[in-house]
Structure 1
Amino acid sequence: MTELDPEDAKLVTLARSARARTRADQGAAVRDGDGRTYVAATVALPSLRLSALQLAVAMAVSSGAPGLEAAVVLGDDPADEAGEAAVRDIAPTAAILRANPDGAVI
């Protein structure tokens, strides 16, 4: 297994923390072009459903992020087509990592 860049490892840790804190299905973290991070967990309300990655991207965009460098989505099933599409909307070449709940990148 390849060792992660320290900044990407930080995203994994943040995503893992968000998921654990909220007991959500997924946690996610993104890093913008200025190095700021945005962390989110899945939202599953009767009137609103957002994946963790969708929410992290929305937080970055609403904060004026100048693009994204990397994203991590973490959970038992880290597949998230809608979240990955949101990342690609603003950062076509950003790295998107998927990780298991234990933080292992897959």
Structure 2
Amino acid sequence: MDADLDPEDAKLIILARSAWARGRPRASSAAAVRDQTGRTYIATDVSLRGVSLTALQLAVAMAVSSGAEGLEAAAVVREPDDELLDRELGPAWEAEAARVMLAGTDGALVKVYLNPDQITAA
């Protein structure tokens, strides 16, 4: 885990990693999101005949359906060579998450995506 990572963000990665470990081999990724009140929601990706959701999409949906008015941050755990796609990040940005952290299955931070709507010009 990155030593400079905020402890609350590190906790999101730990939660997502634990969900990934429980969801294997069916789940290729897992996510954890923290809402503006500090509540967390975790999910793995779902792929059924009738519905297919990424872990991040599902975790955001769980938070919103539970009454969250916005998100602070999110973490996704998956193989480190897989970048997050715009379609995955979109729901997190719409829920006003400031950042989404991508970590490998070993928990090592790979990349931090910043919400483009919240970046201000210097």
TM range (shorter): over 0.9
C-alpha distance in 2, partners of 1:28/1:50? 12
Runs (4+) off by over 6 Å: none
Write the letter of the residue equivalent to 1:81. Answer: D
Q: TM-score, normalization: structure 1?
A: 0.93
Count the aligned residue pairs: 105
1:96 is matched with which residue? 100
Structure 1 pair 51–73 and aligned structure 2 pair: CA distance change class (3 A): same
Q: Which of the residues 37, 55, 61 maps onto 1:58?
A: 61
Look at both structures and tell me which one has the larger radius of gyration over its CA atoms.
2
- Aligned identity (percent) is 53
Q: Aligned-pair RMSD on alpha carbons?
A: 1.3
Residue 28 of structure 1 deviates from its aligned partner by 0.2
Structure 1 gap ranges (5+): none
1:26 aligns with 2:26: no
Measure the CA separation in 1 of the matches of 2:63 and 2:4.
Answer: 26
Gaps of 5+ in 2: 111-122
Alignment of 1:1-106 (within 5 A): 2-23=3-24, 24-76=27-79, 77-91=82-96, 94-106=98-110
SS at match of 1:72: strand
Give me the TM-score of the superposition, normalised by structure 2: 0.81
Per-residue deviation, 1:94: 1.2
